[in-house]
Structure 1
Amino acid sequence: MTDLTGAVVALTGSGSGLGLGLAQYFGDCGATLALLDISSEKVAALQESFGDDILAMQGDVRDIGALTAFRDAIITRFGRVDCLVGAQGIFDGNRPISDLPVDKVPAAFDEVMQINVLGYILSAIVFREELAKRNGSITLTASSNASYCADGGGLLYTASKHAVVGVVRQLAFEFAPDIRVNAVSPCGIADSDLRGPGALGLESESQNDIPKDSFMAMIRKVTLLDHLPTGAEYGPAYAILADPKQRILTGEIIMADQGLANRPIISSR
């Protein structure tokens, strides 16, 4: 386990699924946690679960004012920030583009891209100066499916996750040598509460609604490991990249895909 004792970690999208698992793992590694989520109910649950040693705030990653307030509250409470970890995101329900009403596509595109991409960009800009003081790190979330191949989501989600890869590589270039910028590309996540865009009426549709047996059947079909990881199980990959003590990894994407990219082409399994 990576030792993050003394590191102050700002984690966006921390209220459920991947983000909540990462918060649990980073806390177990000794990190001081500052958690942001758009849901006030989830923020209250975070505060109750983690106690008074953390900072938990409600805010929208699309809102510069909310991000600035989050950063300032961290500095006021803890005096510094060492790591920024981005875990927020929305899905498009894997809807084929031909199934979407064309008049709804622009608004849905804007919503998916603003949360999945612009939110990361704005967070990086807002936190840049404070992270640079600490030779800190930014660790974002891509997707092992949608960042590198088709059918890991619909067109809108796939486009957004491809964009995250570009964001990581360009920010790593622009923020060097003061800040390292990397990402993890997870595959399936147990207990994910990833939801869809309101522009398509999918804001109440959660990946948790997929029957577990169906989800596991899909995982077995496309990966090599008969396992659906929790958010916390992705923690080691994020922690390695975020660790303020490591100075060798930047512009990198860790493929945490349970062997998805190494699946058989000819042989049956």
Structure 2
Amino acid sequence: MQILDGHVVLVTGGGSGLGLGVARHCLSEGAELAILEYDPAKVIALKEEFGDQVLVCQGDVRSVEDLQACRTAITDRYGRLTALIGAQGIFDGMVPLADTPIDRIDALFDEVFSVNVKGYILTARIFHDLLASERGAIVLTCSTAAYAADGGGLFYTASKGAVRSVVSQLAFEFAPEIRVNAVAPSGIANSQLRGPAALGMENSKQSDIPKETFRAGFRTTALMDLPTPEDYGVLFAYLASRHNAIMTGQTVVADQGMLNRAVISSIGTGGTPAVS
């Protein structure tokens, strides 16, 4: 038996990067799948890849109207929803606050928080009753940036800290009918997180960074290879499934051991410690 047999799963932001990898994994685990994607070009690509096997909706997680239209499409096709996986996100370009133009701060804050936080809150509200009737699950995407500095700029980091708090509060409010958890990845190979339009970076993506340069930023991890989006799929799928009967209010840190070390040394490489 596959872990998501009998589950109807919605993945928001499932058109590329982490979301697409998670969606593919959920489908391979037997889920009946719906994807909500903002970018029209990605919607076309999803329909070409999955055909009629997957319900693909175009919409913006910041729009109540779009989310309600997606809900209607899901109930029309499947009649129910077992799990919601939130995978949409936007980066902030890692621009330090001191270098951020003062006249751009309002727009930058609103853009990052509306996608990374408000989108999850609206989605949870609109799909709450469907998930409750299935005794289902919500799984959101956090980040190791919520636990340690330099995983993003101030606005991205603050938004991911907010996601941790959203998970804690919704797990309390939605219990016992709905389990609410999150996964906090660190590096993701071929990450498609785009930059903010507020800083003129809407056409840049993390995947534009040369692979070795990006990998060098994670040189302190115990497991050196950058995971693919599909590698993270197993965590999202388990938390979304009914096999998870005990975890709620938790954010699972999936960091390849990065936060396990507070000090860089040569221990484990045959050398002597850099500090004593």
TM-score by length of 1: 0.97
Contact 2:3/2:243, CA 8 A, preserved across alignment? no
In 2: Cα distance, 1:261 partner to 1:88 partner:
24
Aligned to 1:191: 190
Aligned residues: 267
Q: Deviations over 1:31-69 (max 9, x none)?
A: 011001100110111111112121001100000010111
Contact 2:85/2:138, CA 8 A, preserved across alignment? yes
Q: CA deviation at 1:132?
A: 0.4
Q: Deviations over 1:103-134 (max 9, x none)?
A: 10111000000000000000000000010000
In 1: Cα distance, 2:124 partner to 2:139 partner:
10
Aligned to 1:101: 101
RMSD: 1.2
Letter in 1 for 2:196: P
Aligned to 2:167: 168
In 2: Cα distance, 1:258 partner to 1:2 partner:
26
In 1: Cα distance, 2:99 partner to 2:266 partner:
32
Aligned to 1:263: 261
Q: CA deviation at 1:189?
A: 0.6
In 1: Cα distance, 2:164 partner to 2:244 partner:
21
Contact 1:83/1:244, CA 8 A, preserved across alignment? no
What secondary structure, in the 3-state scheme, does the structure 1 residue paired with 2:225 have? coil
In 2: Cα distance, 1:264 partner to 1:104 partner:
34
Matched, 1:234 2:241: no
In 2: Cα distance, 1:203 partner to 1:225 partner:
31
2:221 to 205, 217, 223: 223
Shift in alpha-carbon separation, 1:266–1:187, aligned structure 2, 3 A:
closer
Aligned to 1:129: 129
Q: CA deviation at 1:264?
A: 5.0
- Give unmatched runs, 5+ long, in structure 1: none
Identity of aligned residues (%): 55
Contact 1:2/1:239, CA 8 A, preserved across alignment? no
Matched, 1:243 2:231: no
Contact 1:192/1:208, CA 8 A, preserved across alignment? yes
Q: CA deviation at 1:245?
A: 3.6
In 1: Cα distance, 2:220 partner to 2:264 partner:
14
In 2: Cα distance, 1:119 partner to 1:91 partner:
14
- Give unmatched runs, 5+ long, in structure 2: 268-276
In 2: Cα distance, 1:266 partner to 1:166 partner:
30
Aligned to 2:272: none
Contact 1:2/1:236, CA 8 A, preserved across alignment? no
Contact 1:2/1:240, CA 8 A, preserved across alignment? no
What secondary structure, in the 3-state scheme, does the structure 2 residue paired with 1:159 have? helix
Aligned to 1:203: 202
Aligned to 1:51: 51
Contact 2:220/2:264, CA 8 A, preserved across alignment? no
Aligned to 2:274: none
Q: CA deviation at 1:6?
A: 1.6
Q: Deviations over 1:140-194 (max 9, x none)?
A: 00001x1111110000000000000000000000000110100000111111110
Matched, 1:74 2:74: yes
In 2: Cα distance, 1:47 partner to 1:153 partner:
32
Letter in 1 for 2:183: V
What secondary structure, in the 3-state scheme, does the structure 1 residue paired with 2:217 have? helix
Letter in 1 for 2:240: A
Shift in alpha-carbon separation, 1:18–1:266, aligned structure 2, 3 A:
closer
In 2: Cα distance, 1:156 partner to 1:199 partner:
12
What secondary structure, in the 3-state scheme, does the structure 2 residue paired with 1:204 have? coil
Q: CA deviation at 1:263?
A: 2.2
Shift in alpha-carbon separation, 1:166–1:41, aligned structure 2, 3 A:
same
Q: Considering only CA atoms, is the larger Rg found in Structure 1 or Structure 2? A: 2
